[in-house]
Amino acid sequence: MPLSIRPATLSDMPRIQEIVQEIWAIGSDFALEEKYGAVGGEAWDRWLVPKVMSRLWDEMDNVLVTEEDGVILGFVSYQMTSARKVGTIHYNGVALAARGRGIGTLQVARVLELFREAGMEYACVGTGLNEGHAPARRVYEKNGFEPLINYVMYARKL
């Protein structure tokens, strides 16, 4: 059965959370732990997963999932601001076992279609510059995104 992209439902959220826990050992929460040890005495995902999932629950109307044979392989979330005509991709994730099949690229392409249909004039997405975010950068560049600004997160132990 071919891949299909559809709006996420409430019953998809547990699988989306599994994917988040599996793939997001690449962001600032993880980097902070790598440098300084467990933050707040708990692993990085204790802090990141609730943050991501809370945003996804809030954006349920703007979350898509990609599935094959009834199994969710990835998801993407987005927001549109009609006054500014800017669409923003928030999260784009693909399960490790499904990587390398173009799913992330396909998800972003679908969101760009939605942006165009809604009259957006610009599309934005942010991602890290570390090696863990390299696959995401490739996906965005395949979909025509260009770097706009660089971002640096500073941290220190108190």
Whether 118 maps to a domain, the answer reads yes
Q: Which amino acid is present at 136?
A: A
Whether 148 maps to a domain, the answer reads no
Whether 25 maps to a domain, the answer reads yes
Count CB atoms within 10 A of the CB of residue 25: 16
User: Which structural domain, as residue segments, surrounds residue 9?
Assistant: 4-142
Percent of the chain with pLDDT over 90: 65
Whether 138 maps to a domain, the answer reads yes
The 10 Å CB-count burial string (b at 16+, else e) for 136-150 is beebbeebebeeeee
Q: Worst-scoring range by mean pLDDT, 62-66, 67-71, 127-131, 140-144? A: 127-131
Instruction: Give pLDDT tens digits for 69-118.
Output: 999 999 999 999 999 999 999 999 999 999 999 999 999 999 999 999 99
Is the pLDDT assigned to residue 139 strictly greater than 80? Answer: yes
Whether 74 maps to a domain, the answer reads yes
What total of structural domains would you count in the chain? 1
Q: Write the CATH number for 8.
A: 3.40.630.30
Rg of the chain over CA atoms, in angstroms?
16
